[in-house]
Amino acid sequence: MRRWSIALGTVLLLVVGLLATTTAAASRPATGRVPAGQAAVAHTVGYDKYSVILDGEREFLWAGEFHYWRLPSPDLWRDVLQKMKAAGFNATSIYFHWGYHSPEPGVYDFTGVRDVDKLLDIAAEVGIYVIARPGPYIHAETSSGGFPSWLKLQTGVARSDAPDYLAAAKDWLHRIDTIIARHQYTNGTGTVLAYQIENEFYLDRPTYMQALIDQARADGITVPTIGNQERWTTGVGAVDLPGTRDEYPNGFSCPDDGWGPLPTLTRPAGAENKPLATWEYGSGSIDEGGHGFDACRQRTNEQYERVFFKNLIGQGETVANFYMAFGGTSWGWLPWGRYVYSSYDYAAPIDESRRLGPKYDEMKRLGYLVRAVAPLAKTDPGILGQAPSNPAVNAMVRRNPDTGTQAIVLRHADHTSKATATTTIGLSTDDGAYPTVPQQGTIRLAGRDSKLLLADHDLGASHLVYSTSELLTHVTTDRDVAVLYGRSGESGESVLRFSSQPQVAVQSGTAQSSWDPTRRDLRLNYSHADGAPVRVLISGGGLARPLQLILTSDADSAQYWRQGTALIRGPQLVRTAKTTGGTLALTGDTTTATDLEVWAPAASAISWNGAAVPTSQTAAGSRLGSVGGPVAIGALPALNWRYQGDTAEAQTSYDDSTWARALERTATINHGNTWYRGHFAGVGAETSTSITVWTGKSGTYAVWLNGTYLGGGEGGPEAVSASFPIPAGVTRAGQDNVLAVLVDNTGHDEMFVGSDVETHKNPRGLTVATVAGSAATIDWRIQGAATLDKVRGPMNTGGLGGERAGWSLPGYPDTGWPGVTLPHRPGQPGIGWYRSTVDLALPAGHDVPLGVSFEGLPDRALLFVNGWQFGRAGGGPQRVFPIPPGILDPNGRNSLAVAVWSLNGSTAGLGPVKLVPLGNAKTSLTVSKVPAPSYDPALFPRPVAPSSPVSVSDLPFLAEANGWGPVERNKSVGESQPGDGRTLSLRGQTFTKGLGMHSAGDVSLYTGGRCTTFTATVGIDDEANAPGSATFTVVADGLPVATTGVLTRASAAQVLSADVTGARQVDLVVADGGDGAQQDHADWADARLVCGTSVGQPPPRAGHTYFLANANSGKYADVYQGSGADEAPIVQYLGTGQPNQRWRIGDAGGGAVSLTSVHSGRCLDVWHGSPDDGAPIIQWGCSGGPNQKWTFRPAGDGTWTVASANTAKCLDVSASSTADDAKLVQNTCTGAAAQRWRLVLLS
């Protein structure tokens, strides 16, 4: 992909030479997997100094980069590849992302949105070659450059033959190679045409390169190997088809429309007899400067494509891969943490919403040219008969030595010039010398322009001497049909050679013809104009068949499509064409009602998207009909929002006992937001805290002490340090103090090109924290993502409390959250969540890309659509986030969740957010919704429910939101800062316990079904002034169970009691009384819950799911490596929340229970029913046998011993170990800590 600070890249084309040793083939290209009972037909891939040669025919490889992992809607892979093929690309280059497929060492996922087999099948179906680029390192502006995050823990040097790295890399390659090998062109089973070794590898490590080549060959890779760095042309580690350095002439920022140098391409030393190839050439740019992709699209617009890409052809290049053809979205935590944000639009010809525009049209003109003019695949430098008459014009000439075809590339000598230049040139061809071309008028270069003119070239049965118009394409029906174009308002001249004078019929527009009997030349002169094509039919003159010329403008040429032997005019896109029984069946898209004009051999009838189209024959040899456009979609539904605060982790009372202590390990590899809570003994003399964080360029961090917000700030690409004063009275002498730090990690660093410094191992998260005035050790705990979602994968979410609780998912029960209107300003820093659902009913048979638009960016926000994180607002210029169909359901209910991170109270909250249409096309495309989990309460752990009696102010909050300042414990709400309230006071009566809130406010409490009654004395605090008023509501599991009327400053305090029996969550909601949210200082005085037995005492109940946490180590009973096999050992492991740590209780009779792994469905079992001490504990298919029955006995401290009903021996950790992966065994019961287990109720 693109380089950092250097113009290197990874452009791939699909084809390169093979070792020239494959069986001859009957046809090409291959069409994919071979039907049962049929033998595959092998193909040859060779090359010489001119081009790639496939089955004996030269191929000009015109490729575009596409990353399936940036478009997690598999049906849209077909959409993008069809659009590429329709634009003239014959190949696509694809990076395969190791980290996207491997969440853990040895664990790989090639299903669903990671189904590479499906991707390659679609490529073969579409008929486009594939250049496979599996790394192991890919760069690509993605986290760790495509390395899995766990690779950071290795001690060996990456991208070397260090044993640990090389073993992991080979394992990855073996997994992906096995799939790629099934789809190779050489085998006749697919369209994979080339295989890249490493990526932009500039280090001198030949044995490492050779090891990767040997691995590929051992895995069955038979196509040619390629490389995008000149080093690997000869010797150990050499590839079959080396390319030039990757070229990104305009760099990677878009401050203006300035252009970089025009590259001069040379073959690497040692590759003189191989085609000139650039495996990455920038079609657009990333946006390092934050100017937005609209600016990048202007900087690398269609003029850039004309000048820079025709320059490639002018230098004889026949292998070019353009990075990107479609960029897509770096969804979730895929982005590299330095210069990229969610959009990876790249200013590509196909934009992030899959729309087509002027850049696509120009790329199509070029792609059609190299497809239509086969002699371009073999050219030598040529010369003009006469240099340009204007020295401000530069000319490059290529000539095919076999056919004599010449390609003349004209541009300004200063390629950046915006001036207008006119010129003539002289030609020396096999048809004779033409000292002044054109013979009438001049060639015009208006502004940044380049023209590629042909001379001495056959158009089917006709011979073109030269033309000052550019060729789009030509086909043969009952006549030869050629489309030539020029800029609107410019003149054109075309000269054709005949054996005798032909007949010329001007069918539309104006053209002058003249006949030179000496040369036997017919000269046509005409003007190009938008909306006014000139059509000329030439017959006779010794032609085997007539020649139909269509002379149009470059803008109007975008209406023409080439599909196989058919030429089509009219639709916005033609995807496929297939002739059956005289009917040409076309599929594609329309954005408006349009003509449908078709030139095709043996086609007497036309259908469009399955419907017959009435047509009539035209004088131009076409069939002409019309097709309809899309239905207007109308206004999209407005979004209604609910809000819930989410900074409970900052509070002292938050229970972090299940969090990991492995700071160094976890801080290094986490994706996304990560919480840290440090406990220390206070002395009361603490004055400030200092931290150092690594976040990535657009990351953030925030710090709280004992629930008081100290401050936060922007991170950076390197370590950032900051200090914060501690206000007086915040620390607690002689007590536990909690320093809470939230860090927004924005993707891991890449391993920069040309350097052996392992920057991908740079840390992420909190690395240093100190408290001035205290010598106490800080005991750190950390909580990152708890990835329970195997479909969206580990890069989708981070460690926010709402993410860990499932708030991002569709179906989360948010009915207890108060409704809010955007813009909404909660008035305090921290995290807040907004959720909305919207029902869509877009017209069937339409492709209507939608985006989520933010009006006014928050400090930071994560956008989740149906559970998929598809936008990270803030830290970049992006305000509209496209959501692809398949992720968004165009005909159903959709869930939107926005997690907002506010660094200060004045900017807290969220401005207007709405759905916006980004296009509308009537289409043949069908897209299925991507299956992915909705909210499942069984998968999201909750805190331990409270004991009875309990004051609400002593409980942790699941979430909190407040209309002014923070929710206060045992104080009134006061002013905007934590702890600035007064003693709770209602009509002169004071209270020592309770909550101080403000409308609109909501506090969520986890009760776990163990509580029966809530009581509080409620009212407007005495500190409030008029017009304070509010209502108080108790919500149990989303249902209001008690509420007051409007209470004012003058109202008597009211005792509010609610039955919350069986409720798992209770919300205390304060709403405005109707006179505006001023002075609504709402007190829940003496708020109490009456609950069941104390924590840990209720026995495990059948049908419920638990974690089993060991009292000695704090680690969880775990199925080793998530195995699903019988006899897999049970071990202890750091709490991850994964299903292989979740155990469902079943009633086994006689007071015993069974424990079934949620992950595997197998039961906890004593190996072979052994009676011995030390017998291993395993999982086994549930049989109900005595060795699968267990009894729980209270240990008296809130923990339990778990004994086998068969042997009466206790579940134990071998040797009382505290290490991860220590095995569980049975031993004689002693009551030791390693035999005691804490139950964490999940559901």
Task: Summarize pLDDT for 506-523 with one digit per residue, the tens.
Answer: 999 999 999 999 999 999
In this structure, the answer to whether residues 572 and 606 fall within a common structural domain is yes
In this structure, the answer to whether residues 90 and 226 fall within a common structural domain is yes
Question: Which range has the worst mean pLDDT, 752-761, 817-826, 1072-1081?
Answer: 752-761
Q: pLDDT class for 941, splitting at 50, 70, 90?
A: low
The confidence score (pLDDT) of residue 339 equals 73
38: Cβ contacts below 8 Å, ≥ 6 apart: none
Element containing residue 178 per DSSP (H, E): helix 163-181
| Residue 35, domain member (yes or no) | no
The confidence score (pLDDT) of residue 233 equals 94
DSSP at 206: H
pTM over cut 0.85? no
Residue 167: helix, strand or coil by DSSP?
Answer: helix
For residue 1086, the enclosing domain spans 942-1091
Percentage of the chain lying above the pLDDT 90 cut = 73
The confidence score (pLDDT) of residue 1038 equals 62
> Which of 757, 783, 809 represents a domain boundary (last residue)?
783
In this structure, the answer to whether residues 950 and 1035 fall within a common structural domain is yes
| Residue 39, domain member (yes or no) | no
CA distances from 718 to 248, 694, 795, 1039 (A): 26, 6, 22, 48
Percentage of the chain lying above the pLDDT 70 cut = 93
The confidence score (pLDDT) of residue 22 equals 29
In this structure, the answer to whether residues 1023 and 1050 fall within a common structural domain is yes
List the CATH number of the domain containing 999. 2.60.120.1060
The confidence score (pLDDT) of residue 1152 equals 93
Question: Which range has the worst mean pLDDT, 379-383, 749-753, 1164-1168?
Answer: 749-753
Is 70 exceeded by the pLDDT of residue 1055?
A: yes
Q: pLDDT class for 29, splitting at 50, 70, 90?
A: very low
Cβ neighbour number for residue 1215 with a 10 Å cutoff: 12
In this structure, the answer to whether residues 415 and 445 fall within a common structural domain is yes
CA atoms within 13 A on the CB side of 329: 25
Is 60 exceeded by the pLDDT of residue 1120?
A: yes
| Residue 1208, domain member (yes or no) | yes
In this structure, the answer to whether residues 136 and 91 fall within a common structural domain is yes
Q: Are strands 830-839 and 893-902 parallel, antiparallel or unpaired?
A: antiparallel
- pLDDT tens profile 336-374: 877 778 999 999 999 999 999 999 999 999 999 999 999
Which among 750, 764, 763 has a CA at the least distance from the CA of 143? 750
In this structure, the answer to whether residues 964 and 1069 fall within a common structural domain is yes
| Residue 12, domain member (yes or no) | no
Q: pLDDT class for 1135, splitting at 50, 70, 90?
A: low
Task: Cite the active site residues.
Answer: 200, 280
Is 60 exceeded by the pLDDT of residue 32?
A: no
Q: pLDDT class for 24, splitting at 50, 70, 90?
A: very low
CA distances from 1128 to 658, 1140, 1162, 1178, 1235 (A): 25, 11, 10, 6, 21
The confidence score (pLDDT) of residue 37 equals 62
* 661/1150 Cα distance (integer angstroms): 39
The confidence score (pLDDT) of residue 664 equals 44
Mean pLDDT of the chain: 91
> Which of 356, 389, 413 represents a domain boundary (last residue)?
356
- pLDDT tens profile 469-509: 999 999 999 999 999 999 999 999 999 999 999 999 999 99
| Residue 693, domain member (yes or no) | yes
List the CATH number of the domain containing 815. 2.60.120.260
Is 60 exceeded by the pLDDT of residue 571?
A: yes
Three state DSSP letters for 936-978: CHHHCCCCCCCCCCEEHHHCCCCEEECCCCCCEECCCCCCCCC
In this structure, the answer to whether residues 186 and 96 fall within a common structural domain is yes
Radius of gyration for the chain, computed over Cα atoms and rounded to the nearest angstrom: 35
- pLDDT tens profile 1004-1023: 888 877 788 999 999 999 99
Mean pLDDT of 179-207: 96
**1047 neighbors 1018 (Cβ within 8 angstroms):** yes
> Which of 896, 926, 956 represents a domain boundary (last residue)?
926
The confidence score (pLDDT) of residue 11 equals 28
- pLDDT tens profile 99-143: 999 998 999 999 999 999 999 999 999 999 999 999 999 999 999
Better pLDDT: 276 or 696: 276
The per-type count for the chain, helices as H runs and strands as E runs, is 12, 82
Q: pLDDT class for 657, splitting at 50, 70, 90?
A: confident
Tell me how many domains the chain contains: 6
Q: pLDDT class for 666, splitting at 50, 70, 90?
A: very low
Q: pLDDT class for 1103, splitting at 50, 70, 90?
A: confident
In this structure, the answer to whether residues 1152 and 1193 fall within a common structural domain is yes
CA distances from 114 to 71, 102, 769, 1207 (A): 10, 10, 39, 46
| Residue 197, domain member (yes or no) | yes
List the CATH number of the domain containing 85. 3.20.20.80
Q: Which residue has the tokens 């469905």?
A: 1161
The confidence score (pLDDT) of residue 1093 equals 56
Better pLDDT: 1103 or 234: 234
* φ and ψ at residue 215, rounded to 5 degrees: -65, -45
- pLDDT tens profile 1157-1206: 999 999 999 999 999 999 999 999 999 999 999 999 888 766 889 999 99
In this structure, the answer to whether residues 401 and 495 fall within a common structural domain is yes
Angle formed at CA 191 by CA 584 and CA 241, multiple of 5 degrees: 135
The confidence score (pLDDT) of residue 28 equals 44
Mean pLDDT of 222-226: 97
| Residue 133, domain member (yes or no) | yes
List the CATH number of the domain containing 439. 2.102.20.10
Mean pLDDT of 421-425: 98
In this structure, the answer to whether residues 963 and 901 fall within a common structural domain is no
Which among 991, 986, 999 has a CA at the least distance from the CA of 1051? 986
In this structure, the answer to whether residues 684 and 805 fall within a common structural domain is no
- pLDDT tens profile 431-476: 999 999 999 999 999 999 999 999 999 999 999 999 999 999 999 9
Element containing residue 1067 per DSSP (H, E): strand 1065-1072
* 755/202 Cα distance (integer angstroms): 8
Mind giving me the DSSP string for 284-349?
S---TT---HHHHHHHTSHHHIIIIIHHHHHTT--EEEEEEEE--B--TT-B-TTT--SB--TT-S
List the CATH number of the domain containing 1210. 2.80.10.50
The confidence score (pLDDT) of residue 1094 equals 42
The confidence score (pLDDT) of residue 6 equals 23
| Residue 216, domain member (yes or no) | yes
